[in-house]
Every structure is written in C-alpha cells, then in structure tokens.
Amino acid sequence: MTTAPAATDAPESPYRSYVYAYPHKTAYRRLADRPRLDALWAGEAKDALSLYLHIPFCEVRCGFCNLFTRIGAPDGLTGAYLDALDRQATAVREALGERTPVRFATAAFGGGTPTFLTAAELERLCDIAERRMGADLRAVPLSVEASPATATADRLGVLAERGTTRLSLGVQSFDDTEARAAVRPQRRADVEAALGRVRAARIPVLNIDLIYGIDGQTEHTWLRSLDAALAWRPEELYLYPLYIRPLTGLGRRAVDPDPAWDAQRLRLYRAGRDHLLAHGYEQRSMRMFRRADAPPQGADDYACQTDGMIGLGCGARSYTAELHYSFDYAVDMHEIRGIVDDYVARPAADFAHAEYGRRVDAGEARRRHLLQSLLQADGLEVADYRARFDGRTPLEDFPAELARFAGRGWLHDTGPDPALLRLTPEGLAHSDAVGPELFSPAVRAAMAAYERK
C-alpha cells in the first residue's frame, strides 16, 4: 500500500510529493454508476477547453519513472491503440454535444513518449485531435513530449508542420555516467544531435528537462549539465528533484528517510536556480524556468486551477467541475500492459462512460485552486479566489495551513487582508512539502488505502 502524506507542523522532508494534479490518481476509485459523459459535460463551459492525448509507449523505461507507460510495442499495437483513440475521440466529441460552442484553447501530447510513434502515426494522432475533436492545432499552443532517441527529423517535421509550438525533451543529464546511474541509457553525443534536430525544425519553444539528486552527481557536474543545456538557449528549462518511487527501476532498492540526500537536493536546487536566474531566466515555479524573452505558452506546469480538461488515451485524465476521471492506474509493467490491452479492445460504446474517478466537492475545489495557484511563482490573487468561491478568502478557508506556512517563512508577509498570497523563495524551494500539506483528510485516506499495482 502507498503512504499518503500527513500534515505536520514540521515536515519530515522537503521532498514529499510532486503535486502536478489534485486529487492524485491514487485517490480515484471505480465509479459504480459509470456516469455518461454527455450528462457530465452538459452543464460545463466548453469555450476554452484543454485537450490532452496520451501515448503510453517508451523505447526504454528510466529508473526513476512511475508514469503510465510500457516499454516497446508488439507489431500492430500502436496502430490498434490509435484505432481505440479514434473511437474514444468520436464518443467524447459526441458527448460534448452541439448545443454550446466547443473550442479548445490548448493542446498537448504526452506519455509515455508521443514521438515513439512513427511520423505517419503522428500525422494520424494530429488528425484525431483535429478531425475528431475539432481542435485547431495551428491556432493554439500545442506542447509535445519527446526523448532524444525518438526526436528524429521526420517526426519533428510532422510536429512542426502540424502546429507544435513547444517541444519538451527529456534529457535529465548531459553526463553519461549520471544518465546510467538514473537507468537512462543515452550518450551525450546523441542528446546534442537530437537538440540540433529540434532547433532545425524551428519549433518556437524548446524545453529541456534535467534532474538533480542522481547518485554521484556533484554541484560541479550539475552546473556542467546546466551549461550544456544553456548552450542551446532553450526557451524553458524544468529542474526536477530525483524521487525513488515504489515499483520503479530505482525503487527496487530500499529507501529510508535520508536527511543528507534531502540536504544535497536542496543544495543542488538552489545552485541550479541561482545559475539560471543569473543567465536571464525567470522562475515560474519550483521546477519551471523560462527565458525572459521567450514567448508565453499558456498555464505554467499545466496547472489547471479551473476545469475543462479533455483527456484521451488510457493514461489521460479529464476534469469537469464536479468529477475528475480516467481509466485504471498502475505503475507495474505487467499491470500497465493489461490496462493498455483492455483499452485497445474496447468497443466505441464503452468510451461514452467514465469508469474511474473522484468527485470534487466545493471544499476540494477550493483546495485545488489554492494548491495549484500557490505553487506558481506569481501566487494566488485573492480577488480571483473571492470571485470563484462566494466571496470567501483563502485565509478564511485554510487558516491553519497558511499560518503554518507563514510561520516557517514560506509565505511573503501579507498582512491581515492580503491581495496576493505568494510563496517566498524558500517556500518555492519547499513546494513538494507545501502541496501535500494542503491535501484534504479524505484524499489522504483514499491515497493511503490505494493498493499499489
């Protein structure tokens, strides 16, 4: 069983959990009533939806990865998966209805590794987004994740021609020894070649993902990786602390609480942050840094304080105001293969229902908005919160949590009636402790009861 984070006056570690969405999928459960999507979306605003297409395939699985993805694909599986994605898209678009305008304001292809697909399959993926869902990919921000090995010229050419505005390349380290330690077999020369192909494709925004806290990594090697990335003048950089999670390659070794590792990761984070700030980058969240002159790309960290997310694919989530839903979730390779096989075999009618999810009541909606706003460098506008939540303020709804953060020096001094709630630099450094402390008792209990698979 997984262990849910518990709220305490003094967090045991600054690295408790990366909160990229709330509630977490381990709090989802099978929905006994299998609600119909047309009923779920009937009362929702549909004029600025987000579209996410999930591809659950990778050429290798990194040692730190707990994403919903499988290694490789037997002959015909990617085509069968796209067939199922097409059936799902048709059912979902029908469920959205025609009574109110349906417009997508952003789009993203994630995984897994979307560029595991061939160039022809990427064309088909774009066709599903456009012809089935009605998204205009050339008119909205479109972000695509890729790996160095799969960022080939033909694939990048398709993505550029179809309107991709942001390409995120998972590099993690430019040091070959560190890459091996993270169970990510790659050579720096291959990474540099892939970056050259991305720049040649003229996709407007290049993001490079890097990881700190790898075995054997020092401040010197960390800054050397950052300088290697900076040589390409990426518009964005994401700096991720290494986590060792159950059921992953690195997770096979026992991991006890390690204050020395926590201190090392904090040290490397601060060195990386200060290095990027000194080189003309602006910090947008604990992880995300954007070059000051780079074009904006929509919500940072894909933070969805509001609702209206359509996720297609067996690892994607969808958000309405009152229900977050997806398919079953797993990390173990055998379990993931079973879920992918089940998805591929589904008839069209199955995609008209939600099967796994979690209801979001008014209290959880407030928590979600506070959490995902506070973890952004710009913070939370109290007037916006009041407008969304019946004139109430975060200080009225979450006095104990905010008092704790302020007492630790994690919140800027805002006075008795603040217009803005914003984390201090030290608060941003502890984002992975701030987020979990805002989880509700009910969500913590559901996460604690989740059986890992």
Q: CA nearest 364: which of 294, 439, 265, 429? A: 439
- Rounded to the nearest angstrom, the gap between the alpha carbon of residue 357 and the centroid of all alpha carbons in its chain is 17
According to CATH, the superfamily of the domain at 25-302 is tm_1862 like domain (3.80.30.20)
What is the CATH topology of the domain spanning 362-449? Arc Repressor Mutant, subunit A (1.10.10)
Rounded distance between C-alpha atoms, residue 218 and residue 240, angstroms: 15
pLDDT digits (tens, 9 = 90+) for 75-84: 899 999 999 9
Q: pLDDT at position 62, please? A: 53
Q: Do the strands 356-359 and 29-30 form a parallel or antiparallel pair, or are they unpaired?
A: antiparallel
**What are the pLDDT digits (tens) for 314-339?**
999 999 999 999 998 887 778 888 88
The amino acid occupying position 219 is E
Residue 55 is predicted with a pLDDT of 94
* C-alpha of 395 from chain center: 28
Buried b / exposed e across 262-301, counting CB within 10 Å, b at 16+? bebbbebbebbbebbeeeebebbbbbbbbbeebeebbbbb
* Regions in the chain scoring below 50 on pLDDT: 1-8, 63, 299-305
Q: Are strands 205-212 and 142-146 parallel, antiparallel or unpaired?
A: unpaired
Cβ of 411: how many Cβ atoms within 10 Å? 22
CA distance 376 to 331: 28
Q: Cα separation of 179 and 267, whole Å?
A: 20
Residue 70's pLDDT is what?
73
List, in sequence order, every residue forming a beta bridge with 318; answer none if it has no partner: 325
Task: Enumerate the domain spans of the chain.
Answer: 25-302, 362-449
Q: Residue 118 in contact with residue 155, Cβ under 8 Å?
A: yes
**C-alpha torsion angle, residues 127, 330, 32, 304 (rounded to 10):** -60
Q: What pLDDT does 61 receive?
A: 60
Q: How far apart are the first and last CA of the chain?
A: 9
Query: What pLDDT is stored for residue 301 in this prediction?
Result: 42
pTM summary value: 0.92
